[in-house]
Amino acid sequence: MPPVSADAIADCVLTAFQALPAKYKPRSLPDGRKEWTILAGIVLSREKPTPALKCISLATGMKCLPRSKLAEAKGNVLHDWHAEILALRGFNRWLVDECAEMARLGRKGRHEWLRWRHTRSRSDGTGGERSGRHEDELQRALDGVQHTDEHEPEHESTTGREEDTMDDALEGSQPFALHPEVKIHLYISSAPCGDASMELTMSSQEDSTPWATAPPTDILSGRGNFDLLGVVRRKPSRPDAPVTWSKSCSDKLALKQCTSLLSGVVSAGESMGLMWPGDCYLSTLVLPEDEIVPEAVERCFGHGPTGRLRTLTGKRWQGGYTFTPFTVLGTDKVFAYAKPMTPPSATGVQQTANGSNISALSTPTRTEVLINGVLQGRKQNDLKGASSVSRRRMWEVVRALQETLATTAGTIAPTITPTNTTKNPEPAGQHTSDGALKETYKSVQLSSAFAHRRAVKEDVWSTALQRWNRNEGDDEWRL
C-alpha cells in the first residue's frame, strides 16, 4: 500500500475542524469579512491490521505569552498557543488520556494506536491483568484530575490486535508506546513562523531588502535581520508588542526531530515515565504547496549540505532519542479560514483582515476554546482557567497516573532525584502543611528522570540550534 498522501492528511484535519460547532471558529464580521486564523492537526495512520487515518488533535491560534508574564503564569497559562504547538500539546494530552484508559482496562485490553511495552508485571514479573480493585483505584485518581472538559464523547471501539511485546533493548521504564507501524503526520494551514518562512516574510514586504541593522546580541526577533538565515528566532510580533522568548514554530519543530513529539512529563525516564519516545517522531509535515520554499525547508529542517541540522545526521542519544528527520509535502487543499488575500477596495486601499483572538483545541476526548492562553471566560490568574494541556493540568494527570500505576503494581511511588541536591533533600511525593507537594515544577524538570531529554536538548542547542535562550520563569510553583 502506498504511503498516505498529503491531501489525505490535510483533508483529515480540515474535515475534523469543519465538524466543530461555530463557537470554535473565527467569526464573520458585520461588514462581510471573516476573521482568519491558522489551523494545525496531528494525524495518525497505519496500514495493519486494516488501513486507518485519524485526526487525533487539532488546534487554531497565533499568539504567545510575553516574557514579562511568565512569573505570573504559575503553570496555568500556556506560553505558546500558535496552532502547531497547541496541536502538539493536545496530542500529548490525548496520549495520557489513552494511557489512563489502557491502564483501567488492564493488559487484556487492546488499543487501536497504543500498546503496553512490557508483558511482565512490575510486582512479580509474571504478567497478568490488574485486579478490579486496582482499576477502581486508578479511576478514582483520574476522576480527581479530569478538568475543563466541555464534553467527553465515548471512545470508539478499538480494533488493534498487536500482541504485547517485551522491548528488551529499550531503556527506561515507560510502560506505553505507539504500535510500531503507526505513523504521525502534522498538517499546518500556513508555513510555520521562523526560518522555514523567512523568504515568504521577505517577499511580503514592500521592500524585501534586508534591513541594515546590526545583529542583536541575544536571540533574533521573528522578522528582523532578513539577511541572517538558518538561525533561531523568537515568535514574530509587532514592533510595539511586549517581548516574548517563545521560539519560532520552525525552531520548535526542528528540535522535535531530536526530542520526539512527546513533552517532558509524558516521556520522562525512570519510574516517572509513561510513553516511550522512540516511536513518537513526526513522519510527515504537510504545508500548503504555495507556501513551501524548497531552499528554506531544507535549510530549516534538513540535514543535507545546506541544512542547519546536518551535524546531527545519524545521531543517537540515551533514552530512545534519535535524530529522525521528517518529510515535508505540499497540498493544494485550502483552509476556509486562512488569511485572505483581499483585493484593494474601491478607494485603492488594501482592506485589513482581522486575526481571530480565540484558539480552539480538540481531541477525541476533550474540546476547549482558549483566549490569552486560558479557557474562554476565565482570567489568567484563575486556577479554573487552566487548559487541560497547561503545565499544571498535565503534571496533575500524569502524576496521578504514575502513582496509581506504581501502587497497583506493588511498587513505591515515583522517586525524584534533583540534580541540585542538598544535604537533606526532600523526598518526592511529600507534602507541605497546606497539602501542596513540596517539589516544584522546576525541581521535577531538573530531576534525574529528565536527564536523557535534557542531554538531547543541550547537545542540539550547542551545535545545530545555537543561541536558544530558554524561556524560563514559570517553574517555581507546586501542585
Q: Average pLDDT by consecutive 10-residue portion of the chain (479 residues)? A: 89 98 93 91 93 97 95 96 98 97 87 80 33 40 40 34 35 82 98 94 66 55 72 81 89 98 92 89 98 97 97 96 98 95 52 87 97 96 96 95 75 38 41 66 93 97 93 93
Q: Which amino acid is at 449?
A: A
Contacts of 371 (CB under 8 A, 6+ apart): 357, 358, 359
| Residue indicated by cell numbers 541540585 | 420
| Residue indicated by cell numbers 520554499 | 293
> What's the rounded Cα separation, in Å, for the pair 125 and 332?
52
Number of domains, the chain: 1
Distances 69 to 44, 66, 157, 472, 474 between C-alpha atoms, Å: 35, 6, 43, 11, 9
pLDDT at 242: 82
Question: b/e string for 148-164 if b means 16 or more Cβ within 10 A?
Answer: beeeeeeeeebebebee
> What's the rounded Cα separation, in Å, for the pair 133 and 127?
17
- Can you read off the three cell numbers belonging to residue 370? 482558549
Backbone angles phi, psi at 255, to 5 degrees: -65, -35
CA dihedral 192→224→466→310, nearest 10 degrees, is 50
By DSSP bridging, strand 39-46 and strand 52-60 are antiparallel
Distances 433 to 412, 430, 437 between C-alpha atoms, Å: 22, 10, 9
Contacts of 212 (CB under 8 A, 6+ apart): none
Per 3-state DSSP, the chain is made up of helix, strand and coil in percentages (nearest 5) of: 30, 15, 55
DSSP 3-state of 95: helix
Q: Are 419 and 277 in contact (CB under 8 A)?
A: no
Residue 479 lies in a domain: no
- Can you read off the three cell numbers belonging to residue 155? 471512545
**Bond preceding residue 364 cis, omega within 30 of 0:** no
The single residue of 47, 72, 84, 137 carrying the catalytic annotation is: 84
> What's the rounded Cα separation, in Å, for the pair 285 and 270?
31
DSSP 8-state assignment for residue 186 = E
Q: Are 89 and 263 in contact (CB under 8 A)?
A: yes
| Residue indicated by cell numbers 488499543 | 111
> How many alpha carbons lie under 13 Å from residue 198 in its C-beta half-sphere?
29
- Can you read off the three cell numbers belonging to residue 119? 508483558
DSSP 3-state of 204: coil
Distances 145 to 96, 148, 202, 324, 400 between C-alpha atoms, Å: 12, 10, 46, 34, 8
Interior angle at CA 455, CA 474 and CA 308, nearest 5? 95
Residue 477 lies in a domain: no
Residue 90 lies in a domain: yes
pTM for this prediction: 0.83
DSSP per position, 280-327: --EEEEEEEGGG--HHHHHHHH--STT-TTGGGTT-B-TTS-B--PPE
- Can you read off the three cell numbers belonging to residue 383? 486556577
- With both helix axes pointing from N to C terminus, report the angle between 451-462 and 249-259 in degrees, rounded to the nearest 10: 130
> What's the rounded Cα separation, in Å, for the pair 278 and 260?
7
pLDDT at 59: 98
Residue 469 lies in a domain: no
Residue 448 lies in a domain: yes
- Can you read off the three cell numbers belonging to residue 409? 503494581
Residue 268 lies in a domain: yes
- Can you read off the three cell numbers belonging to residue 244? 516574548
Residue 199 a catalytic site member: no
Q: Which domain holds residue 452?
A: 6-462
Cα 311 off chain centre by: 25
> What's the rounded Cα separation, in Å, for the pair 435 and 23?
38
Residue 104 lies in a domain: yes
Q: How crowded is residue 173: how many other Cβ atoms within 10 Å of its Cβ?
A: 18
| Residue indicated by cell numbers 491490521 | 49
pLDDT at 91: 98
Residue 95 lies in a domain: yes
Contacts of 20 (CB under 8 A, 6+ apart): 360, 362, 367
Backbone angles phi, psi at 227, to 5 degrees: -75, -10
Hey, which bits of 161-223 come out as E strands?
Answer: 176-178, 183-188
Nearest to 99 by CA among 404, 389, 361: 404
- Can you read off the three cell numbers belonging to residue 460? 542540539
